[in-house]
Structure formats: structure tokens, C-alpha cells
Amino acid sequence: MSKNNRKDRLILSLCMFIMGGSGLAYEYTFSKIAADILGNSVQQWAITIGLMLFCMGVGAELTRYIKKESIIRSFALSQLTLAILGGLGPILLIFMYGKFPYQYSALHYSLISICGILIGFEIPLIVRQNQSYSSELRVNLAEILKVDYIGALFGALVWTFLLPKFLILTETAALLGISSTLTGLALLYFFHNHQKIENWIWITSFLVLGILGGSFFQAKNWTTVAEQSLYRDHIKYTATTRYQHIVLTESPYGMTNLYINGHLQFSSADEHIYHEFLVHPAMHVSPNHQNILVLGGGDGLAVREILKYPTVRKIDLVDLDPEITKLARENPELLKLNQASLSDAKVSLLENQSLITGKKVKLVEKNQKNRFGNQWESICEVNLYHLDASVFIEQIPRIYDLIVIDLPDPNSPDLAKLYSKYFYSNLMKKLGPGGIVVQQSTSPAHAREAFLCIGRTMEAAGLEAEPYHENIPSFGDWGWWIAKNPNTFTEKPLKEQLNSVHSLSVPTKHLTRELIQSSLHFGKNQLTTKETSISTLGSPMVYEYYLQAWKGY
């Protein structure tokens, strides 16, 4: 084989490696944008990748009509088209959903289909070009497919672990488009002597490269403008992390709202109602308050309520996403709301360290006031962990007096595992004598079956569980389940304990003794159902019930 032939084969292999990684990354990017906008991440990823793979087959079939003398030219044009659609597609989809939500799906799946067809062009055309240097089909296919699959793995790792650390999703898309354009230009340059390349193809290639370069540098601004059409209030902060998409808005009247993946997490107008109901009923029926675990709640609002009790000595807060807790410790609006409950001076950050070891710091000294003038009554340690809650529960050797579960609704299989019998069984092992578990449990009005499934699952795990609810203006009728281990507690039933709360020992904005008692009462037949299924790891029924309930909203 001549030296030139070896060089040409190497160039083709390198291009195939880049395209293998980029092609998979395009699939991931469109899947992520669909999951962020439409929710139901598993369904969106499955449909997006399945449709794109099908269309790749269509693209491979279409390459049979491309003549040998047009291979390089056709390949370059397909890469240019893929670059512009894949590179600008995500930002276009965000604009589309904001302005024309009912037409969004048509554009979304059209882009996926066209990009899939164009990606399907790659392997057949490269194999045909490589045939000039490798006459044996088995050698040719093995060579091209090998680098394509290696490139796919490389692309998956880079997309998953590297790019999210430095780029938002629209920047990633623009970078992929630049990658496709440069690949097409490389083939045009190295193989222009083999086939005639018209000047307009060169000009178009550099024009597309310039557009995508500009898009990359303007992606943050364009994304903010595009996202603004999705929200009524002004966007103050937006970020796409490794785990989720975060948006913080502020209304003209100073009201702050936090959204994750497009779903409202709290509004400053009424978050106190939610967090007071989440924390204080459990605190008043729990005989001990020294060691408390909070799962979720990275905004620091639940911790704010817990710190009102002088008996608290240690709080472990577990939230998967470091960006949420960073926002809670640094953002001025959130600091005002959580009263600096997770501020840097008070938190021992133990990200990705052993669960058993780690230096701890005191939250505040007794009678010391923080910057917002609040006077905490106790000395308390707060340990902040950025871990999956299920992993934490399996590994931590500690025993807790109270476990507060402030996790998002079970709107994905990943979250549904935190509402499973297995998870609750592990939780029960971490409860000390008289220990209490309280969990936010979605709406008993809008998602009744999901709400009831949570209680059935708790009971199936051996807990004694009791439901309660309250109206929160931003969410409507909202519910919680409170539970205890009946084997280690000999006091009267939870409902009787809650009814016998005489007064609240800490200041509240909304909650009263009477409201705790009234929250235990539900409408006629509201807790009646024919369903008997519980949620397990293998059969996450709470997720199915949740999807059915919120499908029309």
C-alpha cells in the first residue's frame, strides 16, 4: 500500500471516529432537550434514540442512489446540513415551545428524523470511499465500524462527564455542529483531487462554520431570551447541570420562583406553608430532635424550619445536585428565603468523600445572630452531602430521630426508586426509638392514586403511616405522609398524637395547632381506592400512577 493510501485511510478513520462520537452526542442532546421541556425522561430518551436509529437506517438505504463520483461532495453536504440542524436545533426548539407549544412536537420529531437520516449517510459513504484502499469487504467494514463504535463510546463519555461541566446544552449543540462542519471540510480538503468540488460548497461550508461559531458564543444569551418566553416572570438565573435544568425567576412584585426541568419547586409567596407543614407536625410528635436527616431540600428551606428548635444538634442534608446547594448558599434571593441556613460559614461540604469521616463545623454558636438577624437557640452541625439518597441510606451507619424527605415528585423512574418499598425498608433501619419519617407526597386531589400508593408502600415496608394535606396556592391541594416504626414506639397512634398537639413551640407564619388537626381530614371517599399495588424497584407503580394523573395538565 502506498504512503498516500495509508494517509487517506487514516484520515477516513479519524473522520469516522469524530462522526461516531458526534452522532451519538446529537441523539443525547435531542433526548435531553425533550426531557427538559416535555418531562418523562425515560420515554423521551427511548423515543428519540429509537426514532433516530430508524432514520439512520433510512439514510443508509438512500445512499445507494449516490454515485461513486459524488461520494465526497454528498458526504460534505450531508454534514453541513446535519451541522446546521443539529447545532441550532435545541435553541430553535426552545423558541418554538415558548411561542407555538402545540407545534413543538412536529418540529422536534422532524429534526430528529432528518438528523437521523443524515447520520445514516456516514458509514455507507465512508465504507464506499475506503473501498478504494481496502478491497476486502471484511477488512473494510471492520476498520470503519471499529473506529465508529470507539468514537461512540468516546462521545458518550465526553457528553456525559466533560461537556456539562463547562457548557450549557445549546453550547454543546453548537460545538457538535462545528465538529460536523470541520469533518466535512477536512474531507473536502484531503479528497478534492479525487472528485470535483464546486466553489459554492466551499463558501457554504465556511458560512455554516461562521454561523455556528457565532451561535456558540451567543448561546447563553440566546438561550435566556428563548427560555424567557416559557416563563411569565423575569429569569434571574438559569443553568443546566449534570442532573437537571434549573431556572430562578422574579416577578415585578419581588416574588421568587424556582423551577427544575420546567416544574415549579416553590414560590416565595407561599413556600412557608409547604415547609411548615413538612417539618413542624413531625417535630411535634417526635420525642427526640437531636439528629435529623433531610433528603432533598437543597434550597435550605426545610433546614431553616428545623433550626428553630433548640434541641437540634446535627442535621445531615443530602441533595444530589451541588448546583442547587451552591445556589442556596450564594444567591441573594434564596439567602433571604432560607435565612442563610446553608451559608458557607455554617456548612461542612463533604462532596464525594466517605460517609463516615469528614471534618464538621458548627452552624452557629449559641445566641449568635446571622446576617439576617435571626437568633438561633442551639448549637448545631450541618453536614451537606452531594449523593444519591438511596446510596446514602444504604451506606450511612448513623441513626436518626427524624427523617424529612423533601424530594421532587416521582416523575421519573430514577425518582420513583426513592418511593419504593426497598427504600422505605432501608429508612426504617435508620430510625432511632420513636423515630419519625415525613415525606412530601404530591397532590392527593390531582394525583390521588400516586398519593395513596406512597402510603401503601410505606405500610408494606412495615411503617405506620398517616396522611395529611393542605392547600398551597401555587400548587393546590398538597399532601404529605408521616410515618413511624411501630415496633420501637409504644405511644398512641400518629393521628391521635397529631390531634393532641396543644400548641406550637416555635414561631410560624401560617401553621397553627388547629390547622394540623384539620389537615388530617379528607373529603368523602378521597382516600378510597380499588388499587392495591405498591411501588417496588422492579415495578415502580407510583411513577405509573403519577404519569396517568398529570397527563392532562
Q: Can you give the pLDDT of all 553 residues of the chain as single tens digits?
A: 455 667 778 888 888 899 888 988 998 898 888 877 776 677 788 888 899 999 999 999 999 999 888 888 888 899 999 999 999 999 999 888 888 888 888 999 999 999 999 999 988 888 888 777 766 777 778 888 888 889 989 988 998 888 887 888 899 999 999 999 999 898 888 887 766 778 888 999 999 999 999 999 999 888 888 888 888 899 998 887 878 888 999 999 889 999 988 889 999 999 999 999 999 999 999 988 899 999 999 999 999 999 999 899 899 999 988 889 999 999 999 999 999 888 743 454 454 444 443 334 333 333 334 544 555 445 678 888 888 999 999 888 899 999 999 999 998 888 999 999 999 999 999 998 889 999 999 999 999 999 999 999 999 999 999 999 999 999 999 999 999 988 765 568 888 889 888 889 899 999 999 999 999 999 998 999 888 899 999 999 999 999 888 765 5
Backbone conformation region of residue 255, classed left if phi is above 0, alpha if psi is from -120 to 50, else beta: beta
CB 85 within 8 A of CB 26: no
Burial status of residue 194 (CB atoms within 10 A of its CB: 0-12, 13-18, 19 or more):
middle
CATH assignment of 3-217?
Answer: 1.20.1250.20
> Which pTM value belongs to this model?
0.80
**All structural domains of the chain with their residue ranges:** 3-217, 270-550
Give domain 270-550's CATH superfamily: Vaccinia Virus protein VP39 (3.40.50.150)
pLDDT tens digits for 531-552? 889 999 999 999 999 988 876 5
Q: How far lies 13's CA from each of 16, 143, 508, in Å?
A: 5, 8, 67
Q: Which amino acid is at 521?
A: H
pLDDT tens digits for 335-389? 999 998 887 434 544 544 444 433 343 333 333 345 445 554 456 788 888 889 9
Dihedral of the alpha carbons of 5, 11, 12, 17, in degrees to the nearest 10: 150
Q: What is the pLDDT of residue 4?
A: 61
Round to whole Å and give the CA distance between 534 and 529: 13
Question: Which has the closest alpha carbon to 386: 303, 260, 296, 265?
Answer: 296
Catalytic residues: 406
Helix crossing, 541-550 with 448-460: angle to 10°? 170
CB 33 within 8 A of CB 230: no
Round to whole Å and give the CA distance between 116 and 50: 10
What DSSP assignment string belongs to 300-364?
Answer: SHHHHHHTT-TT--EEEEE-S-HHHHHHHHH-HHHHHHHTTTT-GGGEEE-TTS-SS-----BS-
| Bridge partners for 349 per DSSP | 384
Q: Quote the Cα angle for 80-83-87, to 5°.
A: 155
Which helix (H) or strand (E) element contains residue 472? Answer: strand 464-472
**Dihedral over Cα of 59, 61, 66, 68: its sign:** positive
Round to whole Å and give the CA distance between 389 and 394: 9
Q: Quote the Cα angle for 305-306-311, to 5°.
A: 140
